[in-house]
Structure 1
Amino acid sequence: MKRHVLSLLVVILLLAGCSNMAISDEDGQEIERYIRQEVMSPNFGGEIFTAYEILASNKEKDEIYLWALIMEYYKEGADVEQGSGMSVPMVLKVDRSEGAFKVTGHTLPRDGSFYADDIKDMFPYFAELKALDYPSNHIKKLIAEVETEVAEELK
């Protein structure tokens, strides 16, 4: 019983250390705009499509912790081809001053042996756990969202 109470207390303290910010539909559009325009450039002259899942946010730090799928698609004759892409955790820095919501920058973890340490440094603990073990079924859901958008816009 004591172990359960202690575990619950630890979870409450971890959650209390990071206050979430409310993300409106308009804020979501700004996040999507930023990711499409600033995170990855098209390598085949195509159009960037994105889907993301917010893992957490921190109102005091003006940070949003998310997993993003970013894909380029381009037309090759009558066919739509997939170009470059990435599936990656990231931290977005936002500015909420003057009643506006604007993404002002981002941080991505480095590859290879730096990856796990960067995630631990960039993300609060509970979001770190999600980012380090992001489920493949969540990625499949993001892929389906992007493919639906591509089908609507490019076909």
Structure 2
Amino acid sequence: MRRIIFHVIIVFLLLAGCSLNSTVTEEDEQEIEKYISQEVMSPNFGGEIFSAYEILATNEEKGEIYLWALIEEYYKEGEEVEQGSGMSVPMVLKIDRSEGASKVISHTLPRDGSFYADDIKEMFPYFAELKALDYPSNHIKKLIKEVESEVAEKLN
């Protein structure tokens, strides 16, 4: 029984520093989207970067937002819209709120290959780590639909 209580206390303490219910405003969302589209990935085919993301957790004390992002390049080839480079990846955004409005100042991505899982465990709080390590394909499909909708509005 003591062991169960101990585990509950540990989980509570881990959760206390982070929040699933993020306090991300609409302005924060615009800043995040702008940053992802301009700073995380460059277009390889001269196209435009589009993105969609899901916030997995936030940590106000550390000034971090943990999210999964889908970032895709689209470009026009004649009359056709083509897909260029892209990525679907978990990341940590470092946020500066010192001047009132949020400003994304940097990001961290996990390394590929055998480093991936260890990097996720190091970068994310426990409950966001679990989500990032097993991010559901239906969530990625939702992000794809968001990006495709934005592309259709802007490029067609």
TM-based fold match above 0.5: yes
Give unmatched runs, 5+ long, in structure 2: none
**Which residue identity lines up with residue 121 of structure 1 in the other structure?**
E
Q: What's the offset of the Cα at 1:16? A: 1.1
* Aligned-partner residue type, residue 126 of structure 1: F
Task: Work out whether 1:126 is the aligned partner of 2:149.
Answer: no
Q: Distance in 1 between matches of 2:12 and 2:31?
A: 31
In structure 2, how many angstroms separate the alpha carbons of the residues matched to 1:50 and 1:64? Answer: 16
What's 1:16 paired with? 16
Deviation string 1:25-81 (CA, Å, 9 cap, x unpaired) is 111000000000000000000000000000001000000000000000000001000
1:17 Cα deviation from its structure 2 partner: 2.7
Q: Provide TM-score, normalisation by structure 1.
A: 0.93
Once the two structures are superposed, residues 116-151 of structure 1 have per-residue CA deviations (whole angstroms, 9 ceiling, x without a partner) of: 000000001110000000000000000000000000
Quote the Cα distance in structure 1 between the aligned partners of 2:26 and 2:6.
Answer: 37
Number of residue pairs the alignment of both structures matches = 155
- The answer for the alignment partner of 1:80 in structure 2 is 81
What's the CA shift for 1:5? 6.6
Q: Assess if the C-alpha contact under 8 Å between 2:17 and 2:61 holds in 1.
A: no
Give yes or no for the alignment of 1:108 onto 2:105: no
Distance 2:44 2:94 in 1: 25
Could you tell me which amino acid in structure 2 is paired with residue 73 of structure 1? Answer: Y
Instruction: Please give the TM-score of this superposition, normalised by the length of structure 2.
Output: 0.92
Identity of aligned residues (%): 79
Unaligned 5+ runs, structure 1 = none
Q: Which residue pairs with 1:41 in the alignment?
A: 42
Supply the RMSD in Å over aligned alpha carbons: 1.8
The Cα offsets for residues 11-34 of structure 1, whole Å up to 9 and x where unpaired, read as 433311325651101110000000
Alpha-carbon separation, structure 2, partners of 1:105 and 1:3: 40
1:60 aligns with 2:84: no
**Secondary structure at 1:45 match in 2:** coil
d(CA) in 1 for partners of 2:8, 2:67: 25
